[in-house]
Structure 1
Amino acid sequence: MSKVFFFSIPFSGHVNPGVGLAKELVKKGEEVIYYCTDSFKEKIESSGAVFRSYGSKFYLNDDFVTHNIIEILRVHLELSEIIMEQLHKDIKRDKPDYIVHDFMSTWGKHAARVSNIPAVNIYTTFVEKPKGFINTIGLVLAVAAMMLKNIPRMIDIRKISGRLKKKYNIKVKGLSDIIDNKEALTLVFTSHNFQPYSYKFGVNYKFVGPVSMYRNEKIKGFKLNKSEGRPLLFISLGTVFNNDREFFIKCIKAFGDMDIDVLMSVGKKIDISSLAIPENFTVKHFYEIPQLEVLNECDAFITHGGMNSVHEGLMFGIPLIVVPQQLEQAHMAKRVAETGCGIYLDMSEVTPESLKESYKKITSDDSYGKNAEKMKDSFLKAGGPERAAEEIFSYIKSIDRMT
């Protein structure tokens, strides 16, 4: 049995797949110590892993919502500095055999480097690659413009990088190095079929399929209101960008007069009592809904396009309407449309009419459901948590043979 330190960032889209992998590692006899924030303690412990808190100074949580990439980089680098001393002490005391870290857990890579411990990187979303010279130049120009607008944050990043180098000899090679924490082994939680341009990635990238749906998920007292013989539509904007009241009102107007049941998940800042809820609607806050249980029963899914939600919907063979709330989700929405598994509906195009029309289209055209089933097959063939664990063990053994 090996001892594993597991580092995630405190968002459901990152913790849920992490928990799926941790559960498999525990099942295979590993001792997993899983670092996160207290709000995920129960979920992490349900996997059999030992929960360990990042501590009171770690300030990242699901209230942190920003579209400013430079601010995200600054925060992740600062958090790495804040908790590095404690992580270094924990590693010296507990002597883990290897580390597994989320690709955005900057501190996971730093802790591995400082302690000279092998590490595995996990991708809970698509791996992004420039698709050509023009796109690369465009990306450089966009980043340059952001840097000019964020000079104080850039100064902070440089200062923090200097302190990390001085105290721990940690070298931050560039902005992308902060949240693209490459290792000799990277597990990507999707299939070759779904990952765009998967043929461009080398042997260090293993596409092991989704793992988030292998978590334990029970919410006490939840009851699904579904009439016999009527289709069920599930609507959710996820766990972060989910407080758009106008969007939810449009959904009510779109589906309130239809002969279907609707379960709608809303953000915690939405006052449900203030909504005019039709007879065929059930509206709950996102933390009151066991998504896997609902997806097992529903016929269509309107989603924000988070990686886990898309994978989980497709794993049940459900056609999707994807309404992305940010850039990463827009990439996901585009891929869903490209593979014929659903419809990409831009937020600027959302009206009650466009929502209803999209729903009618994916439920009347059999091709969407058939393509969703094909994608489900590709996910299952990729191997899931068992394949992910096998890749980790193989990698760690290869390192042991070289030492």
Structure 2
Amino acid sequence: MEGLLGRGHAPTVDGMTIHPEGPVLFVSSSARGHVNPLLTMAGELAARGWPDVWFAADDDVRGDVEALGSGSVTYVPLGPQARGLNPTLWDDEAYRSATTQSKWKNCVAVIREALDVTVLTEKYLALDAEVERIRPALMVVDSETVYAVDVAMTRGIPFVLSVPYPVSGFFQPLLPKDYPTPLSGLPQRMTRSQRVANRLFRLRFMTLPLHKGMLKKLAAVLKVRKQLGIANPTGGVKAKIDGATAVFAYSVFGVEYPFPAPEKLRMLGAMVPATPQCEEDELTRWLDGRESVVHMGFGTISRLTAEQVHSLVDVARRLEGRHSVLWKLPKAQQDLLPPDAELPANLRIESWIPSQFDVLAHPHVRAHLTHGGGNSVGECLHFGKPLVVAPLWLDCHDLAVRVVDCGAGLAVDDTRTFDAAEVTAKLHRVLTEDSFSERARHWAGRQHEAGGVAGAADLLVEYVAGLRAR
């Protein structure tokens, strides 16, 4: 597929210039883990010469779309951020209910928050009106942005689904009985007790309507979907799979556990733009001046406790003399830090990093300590860096066992406190045992072969060209 598009030139397929008729419309909620792969893809498509690229999202994404290049991607506003669809907006009580020690209770809490019939209806109607105006030839939609999938299916517009978490979670109806149930955090090779736990976890999904308040929420959503005339009235996943032109996933089999999947599933590897993204700055010079750096970052959703923050400071202190530590810690959580005088000299804390891609690409960054989000794991492996995963959130538990099983890293057992001795010992192993770096580099090669963002853009051009040829 490489070379189907040339940067700055008219798009081509098989050496023939095509003149696109109809826009390509990307749609996502503003949750970072979901919107970022689509932003990277839209930027790539526009940079390669596609003349009519649109991006529909909540108001707070406008700046990200405009940063893709002057006029290259047209932003479509869909109103304020939807609280239920963006966990960064949840209050502390809602966040705690979704990050307990019970993986099943966490699932229920997230689903309960997402089932906001008012928000889903408003977003559906807003997007439907914009689609009527734009008339896209193809939509590329985040799989969890329910209203976007609904609009595409109801209007009969060809669509590509973007799945930024372990893609087996989206294909759950097709998984064999002995496959680790999505969100269970169970490994591919299970003990007898784990196999029993796996069956029970899957059966529990059938009890969802029985949880407090859930039946009422589900009934309200189904009623409105019927009133709106949505083509997939129950929101069934199989109907979405059958209706999609393709399903894009950002890993490779071998990291993701294999399962029987339709041909329309495209395992592309991480959506990583060309680096460096930013000009050399003071942070780059700091990285240049350190022989070995551990990058720490826990995504946009995670809310660390004071105990966790202090443990991570202790981890940096224990690494002093051997490794420096770059920690991306949100400003709101920096109040939990000990006084500056008590911070180790090898620790650098930033509330914002211009480009995590540039950091992970830097040759002096040797490993990544992460919460285990899909984008973070994929990006780290794209650059061939081993990692230690401290899973803090739903699919992070699944990704943690996959990282361990593919040999590219280790997982933290106790994430309630981030035991400093355990985290330091596991970082020491991935930094000093060659097997972890070797496996990380292996998966980097596999990701690059899968196509990445270039392959995704090539496929989108092929799809639109194929639609015009009908």
Give TM-score, length-normalised by structure 2: 0.77
Task: Within 5 Å, give how 1:124-163 maps onto structure 2.
Answer: 124-128=164-168, 129=172, 130-132=175-177, 137-150=199-212, 152-163=213-224
Q: What's the counterpart of residue 106 of structure 1?
A: 146
Contact 2:27 2:57 in 1 (8 A): yes
Q: What's the counterpart of residue 293 of structure 2?
A: 232
Structure-2 change in CA distance of 1:92 and 1:283 (3 Å):
same
What SS does the corresponding residue of 1:372 show, helix, strand or coil? helix
Contact 1:104 1:179 in 2 (8 A): no
Distance 2:426 2:241 in 1: 35
The amino acid of 1:87's aligned partner reads L
Structure-2 change in CA distance of 1:167 and 1:254 (3 Å):
closer
Distance 1:352 1:133 in 2: 35
CA RMSD of aligned residues (A): 2.8
Indicate the larger mover: 42-51 or 98-107: 42-51
Contact 1:23 1:215 in 2 (8 A): no
Q: What is the identity percentage for the equivalent residue pairs of Structure 1 and Structure 2? A: 19
Contact 1:189 1:208 in 2 (8 A): yes
Q: What's the counterpart of residue 6 of structure 1?
A: 26
Indicate the larger mover: 317-326 or 211-220: 211-220
Q: What's the counterpart of residue 253 of structure 1?
A: 314
1:269 aligns to 2:332 (yes or no): yes
Deviations 1:95-114 (A, max 9, x none): 21111101111111111123
Contact 1:189 1:207 in 2 (8 A): yes
Q: What's the counterpart of residue 293 of structure 1?
A: 358
1:29 aligns to 2:29 (yes or no): no
Q: What's the counterpart of residue 38 of structure 2?
A: 18
What SS does the corresponding residue of 2:375 show, helix, strand or coil? helix
Deviations 1:130-175 (A, max 9, x none): 341696752443224443223x233122222212212334433357
The amino acid of 1:70's aligned partner reads I
Among 146, 155, 169, the alignment partner of 1:115 is 155
Distance 2:113 2:242 in 1: 14
What SS does the corresponding residue of 1:379 show, helix, strand or coil? helix
Distance 2:238 2:114 in 1: 9
Structure-2 change in CA distance of 1:185 and 1:178 (3 Å):
closer
Give TM-score, length-normalised by structure 1: 0.89
Deviations 1:51-83 (A, max 9, x none): 2221137444422344313214413x6433112
Structure-2 change in CA distance of 1:202 and 1:132 (3 Å):
same
Which structure 2 segments of 5+ residues have no match? 1-19, 99-105, 182-197
Structure-2 change in CA distance of 1:358 and 1:166 (3 Å):
same
Q: What's the counterpart of residue 172 of structure 1?
A: 233
Structure-2 change in CA distance of 1:15 and 1:279 (3 Å):
same
Q: How many residues align?
A: 398
Q: What's the counterpart of residue 208 of structure 1?
A: 268
Distance 1:336 1:79 in 2: 36
Q: CA deviation at 1:84?
A: 2.0
Q: CA deviation at 1:344?
A: 1.3
Distance 1:329 1:219 in 2: 32
Among 103, 127, 138, the alignment partner of 1:87 is 127
Structure-2 change in CA distance of 1:165 and 1:216 (3 Å):
farther
Structure-2 change in CA distance of 1:288 and 1:222 (3 Å):
farther
Distance 2:199 2:118 in 1: 29
Among 279, 287, 290, the alignment partner of 2:345 is 279
What SS does the corresponding residue of 2:447 show, helix, strand or coil? helix
Q: CA deviation at 1:236?
A: 0.9
Distance 1:32 1:384 in 2: 19
Among 384, 392, 398, the alignment partner of 1:331 is 398
Distance 1:319 1:345 in 2: 14
Among 94, 115, 137, the alignment partner of 1:74 is 115
Q: CA deviation at 1:221?
A: 6.8
Indicate the larger mover: 159-168 or 361-370: 159-168
Q: What's the counterpart of residue 56 of structure 1?
A: 80
Q: CA deviation at 1:361?
A: 0.7
